[in-house]
Amino acid sequence: MKAPIISVKNVSKTFYNVKAVRNLSFDVKEASCFGFLGPNGAGKTTMMKMIYGKALRDDFYRSSINVMGFDPAVDSLSIKELSGVVPQEDNLDEEINVYQNLFIYSRFYAIPHDEAKKRIENLLDFMELSDKKKSMIKELSGGMKRRLIIARALLNNPRLLILDEPTTGLDPQVRHTIWDKLRRLKKEGVTMLLTTHYMEEAFEICDQIIIMDKGEKVLEGNPRKLLDKHIEKYILQIINKKKAFCLEKSLNPKKVRKEETGEMVIYASDDLKYLENLANCLNSSDFYIRQSNLEDLFLKMTGRSLNEDQ
Amino acid sequence: MKTNKRYPNFLQRITSVWYRHFRVYTKNLITNGLPPFLEPLIFLAGIGLGLGNFVGINTMDGLSFLEFLASGLMVSTAMMTSAFECSYGTFIRLEFDRVYDGMLAAPLSVENIFMGEILWAGSKGFFFSLAVLIIIRIFGVINTPGSFIVPLIGFLTGLMFSSLSLFITSIVKNIDQYNFYFSGFLSPMFFFSGIVFPVSSLPLPLRVISELLPLTHSVRLSRALTFGRYEWINILDVFFILAFTTVFAFVGIRRLRKKIID
């Protein structure tokens, strides 16, 4: 088997007295997409930052991070030379226009001028930003800024792309465009590390995910397999809890798992027929039955209520 | 672990940061490029000609007031521009625009970024010094050959005050705290570093303080070069500037590193 492109062992990170990451270990295969899921404050971003040296791990000698053969705490420049980073917050240079943003960034990699110009044209084209070449950053929409940051991260033809919530806050069209681009990059052999809140995003592009909560790994695996293994296939969702009274008496707790939040209640089961029978006593407008998704798994694993860090 | 380094070399990294600042600065050539010429013009007209009439001829260490003042302004302007660049400028890039976060995703270290920035502030010091020189030559205030070398002192002054300002930036908690730095340190220094009157006319305790101020050494070097009046103490002035720059750059960048790397 080929050696993993990233190998993380027993990594922790403490801020003052908060443990942001606790004893995390994982391997990432080349040309795959590896996703981190978890609520805000779960330690996803901190883990990403430790991969390219923006954050330093605790206990240097008892843990290890190996990224393409380099340790980010020792030689982050070698890692960054081979990687592209899309941070959570937009950090484009507001004082210069779209083209200059990319051109000045190409100087950081010392890409020869002619080559840089060619790559910039290609990337603007790839990210569908060619007609915004001369625009100032302020004039761009949120989706354009994100696409430009991804273009910037691709300037050095990276082997590894680190994406911290690449589509948070964007409309569905832009999200789908970005997912499409990321899938294309993956096909070309780029390894991707991604954090997200969107279960759909993880499902669409990730081969392997980790669900994190309070700095710890809760689950790891292929998203589809995790669904099969850790959550019931179907969900009966009732928007108004009070309406659920009629089915409570006939409930068989062995066949169904019940979860309540606020005004809503859900019943999860592998048996679709059983859920349909349960729902017989309800008006058709009061419930719906659907397949379970990664979000249900996520909520099951990390809890439905907010914790103090969120 | 591999050791083959494929990323750009040290000089390429520093100059790429310098280039970023250069491009941003030259983007608005008129708004950024004109004030350095206007400022000395106004200053020399207002203070030099106006106030100069009340000052006797050749009383300032044997120089006319205008000559005396002009040779000092060539470096004080370098101080101001580099101090602004690495205080308010750096703070905004650090806290508001997050420019450094963007740069740190490229193969640059925190040290590279701020060394490039100090180099840029030095270049700005050179340019501002040169602007004053051009004005005073156009108006015939000073015509000595030595004055041509003074922008180099402007460069050193820029390095010195950008290093100090980075150190201040590593300490301030919000942008308003720079008021202390500017009103409490830089502005008074302008008066006690021998720009508007000779330090030798001050009482002894103030002269001692004046010798500890960084600008005093730049001013003395500027005057020595401009009028060809070299003294042994000028060697100490150079050492002071180099040592001051090194210490504050080292400590300042180290502290900024802790702020930026989690």
In DSSP terms, which residues pair with A234 in a beta bridge? A269, A291
Question: What pLDDT was estimated at residue A163?
Answer: 95
Which residues have a Cβ under 8 Å from the Cβ of A37 and sit 6 or more positions away?
A44, A195, A196, A197, A199, A202, A209, A210, A211, A212, A294, A298
User: Is residue B122 packed enough to be buried (19+ CB in 10 Å), middle (13-18) or exposed (0-12)?
Assistant: buried
For residue A39, the number of C-alpha atoms closer than 13 Å in the C-beta half-sphere is 17
> Is A93 in contact with B102 (Cβ distance < 8 A)?
yes
What averages of pLDDT result for each successive group of 10 residues across chain A (310 residues)? 88 90 94 90 92 93 94 95 93 92 96 96 94 95 93 95 90 88 93 88 89 89 86 86 77 82 84 85 84 81 66
Q: Are A149 and A87 in contact (CB under 8 A)?
A: yes
* Per-residue pLDDT tens digits for B18-77: 999 999 999 888 888 899 999 888 888 888 778 877 776 777 888 888 899 999 999 999
Q: A4 at the B interface (CB within 8 A)?
A: no
Q: Are B244 and B236 in contact (CB under 8 A)?
A: no
Distance from CA of A87 to the nearest CA of B (A): 8
Chain A residues within an 8 Å CB radius of B13: 108
Which of A69, A78, A107 minimises the CB distance to B16? A107
Which residue on chain A is closest to B98 by alpha carbon? A91
Within chain B, which residues score under 50 in pLDDT? 1-3
CA distance B179 to B87: 11
Question: What pLDDT was estimated at residue B10?
Answer: 95
DSSP code of residue B51? I
Structure tokens at A259: 């979860």
Cα separations in angstroms, A194 against A85, A167, A209, B150: 10, 10, 9, 53
> Is B107 in contact with A109 (Cβ distance < 8 A)?
yes
Q: Domain residues of chain A, as ranges? A: 6-228, 233-291
Q: Whose CA is closest to B113, among B23, B20, B26?
A: B20
Question: What pLDDT was estimated at residue B46?
Answer: 84
Domains A6-228 and A233-291 share a fold: no
Question: What pLDDT was estimated at residue B145?
Answer: 94
Q: A169 at the B interface (CB within 8 A)?
A: no
Q: A87 at the B interface (CB within 8 A)?
A: yes
Amino acid residing at A120: I
Structure tokens at A227: 């669904």
Chain B residues within an 8 Å CB radius of A67: none
Structure tokens at B230: 């070299």
As a residue count, chain A comes to 310
Q: A136 at the B interface (CB within 8 A)?
A: no
Which residue on chain A is closest to B2 by alpha carbon? A69
Q: Please state the pTM of the whole predicted model.
A: 0.90
> Is A108 in contact with B27 (Cβ distance < 8 A)?
no
* Per-residue pLDDT tens digits for A257-305: 888 877 888 888 888 888 888 888 888 888 888 888 877 888 887 776 6
Q: Whose CA is closest to B194, among B224, B228, B159, B168?
A: B224
Distance from CA of A152 to the nearest CA of B (A): 10
> Is A85 in contact with B105 (Cβ distance < 8 A)?
yes
Question: What pLDDT was estimated at residue A169?
Answer: 81
CA distance B91 to B182: 15
Chain A residues within an 8 Å CB radius of B262: 13, 15, 46, 49, 54-56
> Is B19 in contact with A104 (Cβ distance < 8 A)?
yes
Q: A276 at the B interface (CB within 8 A)?
A: no
ipTM: 0.90
CA distance A148 to A154: 10
Contacts 24+ apart (CB under 8 A), B142-150: B142/B67, B142/B70, B142/B71, B142/B226, B144/B226, B144/B227, B144/B228, B146/B225, B146/B226, B146/B227, B146/B228, B147/B71, B147/B74, B147/B225, B147/B226, B149/B225, B150/B71, B150/B74, B150/B75, B150/B222, B150/B225, B150/B226
Size of interface A-B (CB pairs under 8 A): 96
Which of A54, A84, A85 minimises the CB distance to B262? A54
Question: What pLDDT was estimated at residue A305?
Answer: 63
Task: For the domain made up of A6-228, give the CATH fold.
Answer: Rossmann fold (3.40.50)
Q: Are B176 and B95 in contact (CB under 8 A)?
A: no
Second CATH level (architecture) for the domain A233-291: 2-Layer Sandwich (3.30)
Distance from CA of A208 to the nearest CA of B (A): 24
